Chain A
Amino acid sequence: MYYTVMPPIVQREEIENTTVPQGKMCIYKNQTIEVVPEGEKFKIQRIFSTDLKAYLEVDLQPGSFIDLSLMEEL
């Protein structure tokens, strides 16, 4: 259920007609994260952690690009 000034029809059409890039799980700075490709870079989509500090870690904020040399495959 929405409470927004965006017309639901617009939002629904957007969701139906746009493909969300497939996320990839990896280990970055000892945390499990999901990244999405953006050009040649990877952008953090979300963090999977029970460590609270991870959510305040500047380098792990969703939207930030990761240093590929520090990325480990899961």
Chain B
Amino acid sequence: MPPDPDRVLADLVAARARPEGLTWLDGALADAAAGRADLAAVFPAVSRQLGRGGLDAPGATVTTAAGEELSLAAWRVDDAARVRLLLAAARHAPDRALALARELYDKGDARERAGALRALSLLPGAARDDAALPAVLDALRVTQGELFEAAVCDSPYASRHLPQLEWRKAVLKAAFIGLSITRIARLHDRCDAELSSSVLDFAREREAAGRPVPPALWPLAARYAPPGLGAKLLGYLEHPAVEHRRAAAEALGMMLPGEPRLRPFLVDHGAREPDEHVVRALREALAS
């Protein structure tokens, strides 16, 4: 059994907030759990009481009721405290939890909104209730990296409930603004031919502009490999950056069953590859 998310968050917040702030939070949590608190009035004070700094827990995760693991690497102390408040309110009124999160998003400033968004995957009904989807859609449209990131990255809720068109746009926007697409849940499960093709177009655009291409694009492009991808990936197998060679090896491995002609090139490169991670990726690719 993975530990209770609220327990994990409580420990992380306790390690980083001031004692007065923690006393304040305990009172607010008790009120929320008893249905006595108007969270719209409590949410604005959270950052002032507990701080705005990072949780500084790069390896920490929590597990949702559906068993999805969710990274806390990008969370701030106030995010974690606001999620705890929503979890407490959900104990009182579980059926209203996601609707309440949406309401708090609507009334919140950027920090409050980020907190509401980060809670979604952990609230009761996250697997079936799309009541908070309008908040996610709103955050996808804003030009505030902070909100977009909280809506889409490390969020099984977003990847479960976003319609396919919106979800594809979210993946592309994440890549476009420099967020790692590997932080998007169900990335490969929901990828379709259109996304593979859009991702390759985006990579070409970046290349033409002489701008960096995120290596994480390659396996996604290879999911429904558009014409020409194999040759491009063989080129990236010679790239000076290890991450590109590794991602290209992984992507080529996905393409091999459909394009066995690629195999000798992978064998050839494997004999010359200096980096052990890439060598391992090639070995796995050739074994597929």
Q: Is this pair of chains taken from one and the same complex?
A: no
